Amino acid sequence: MGIKERQERDREAVRRSILDAARELFVTEGYQNVSIRKIAERIEYSPAAIYGYFPSKDDIFFALAEEGFHLLHRPLEHPDPSVPPLDVVRKMLWHFYEFSVEQPQYFALMFVDRTVPSVRRVYERFAFARETKQELMSELQRAIDEGTIPKTVPPAAAFRLLVNALIGAATMRLSDRLSPGENADDIARDALEVTIAGLQSGIALRSHAGLPCDSPEDVEPLAVRATRQELS
């Protein structure tokens, strides 16, 4: 290994240690309560050294959020038109819930902490994450077109309701708000199925004015902005 390669490897190792320490501190202490100095103390580096990797604490969060959305992102490799669209919707949304189980720190940082900066500030970094939403919206539109969901249901409204149903169940599990004997997976599955059934029933939706899929205000994937408003 040459000198340049070794330097790059060492630099990446330091960057990784900064991100790992920051992620743990952000989740355990809250984003607003963590400083660059505190992150530096955790990895036994100087604050000046961290600034050599990230210009600000916000930039550390954006790097973590980008990692999290890459972990969450699972595009449809071979869309099969013979598969009922609601089955595809169920699969995609259940993967989202499983992400909260498998990556609880990323999930808490991305969807629960209300003090983190909005990814809309650097929305160009998260274009890849919008693909998942667009695929889910397409499947919801397919369900509407084939009559599985009434045509009166806007896909954007359906998307928000379905995602927020699972965010609620995931947050209850992460925050240990379940009663003895309750199963978070069962609650999440019921929330998903009840929401789908409600959409299929044609019930009038108050949240009918969904944002366009590619609106700048809708860059935060998977209802991040709506969830923060509901938790506030």
In a domain, 126, yes or no: yes
**In residues, how long is the chain?**
232
Give burial (CB, 10 Å; 0-12/13-18/19+) of 177: exposed
Number of domains in the chain: 2
136 and 86 share a domain?
yes
Say if residue 28 is in the same domain as residue 91: no
Please report, for residues 34, 41, 48, 211, the alpha-carbon distance to residue 45 in angstroms, rounded to integers and kept in the order given.
Answer: 15, 6, 8, 44
Same-domain check for residues 212 and 154: yes
| Rounded Cα gap, residues 13 and 34, in angstroms | 22
Higher pLDDT, 106 or 128: 106
Residue-number span of the structural domain to which 7 is assigned:
3-55
- 50 lies in the same domain as 86: no
In a domain, 223, yes or no: yes
Structure token digits, residue 189: 């599955």
Same domain, 50 and 75: no
**Residue of 190, 213, 214, 173 lying closest to 94 (CA atoms):** 190
73/35 same-domain check? no
Residue 28 pLDDT > 70, yes or no? yes
Closest by CA to 136, choosing from 90, 170, 169, is 90
Does the structure show a pLDDT above 70 at 232? no
CATH number for position 33: 1.10.10.60
**Is the domain of 181 the same as that of 143?**
yes
pLDDT at site 226: 40
Distance CA 126, CA 42 (A): 29
pLDDT of residue 220: 42
Q: How far is CA 141 from CA 70, 86, 152, 180, in A?
A: 25, 10, 11, 39
105, 151: one domain: yes
Q: How confident is the model at residue 120 (pLDDT cuts 50, 70, 90)?
A: confident
In-domain check, residue 61: no
Q: Model confidence over 77-108: pLDDT tens digits?
A: 666 788 999 999 999 999 999 999 999 999 99
Same-domain pairing of 40 and 76: no
> Residue for token digits 């992460």?
174
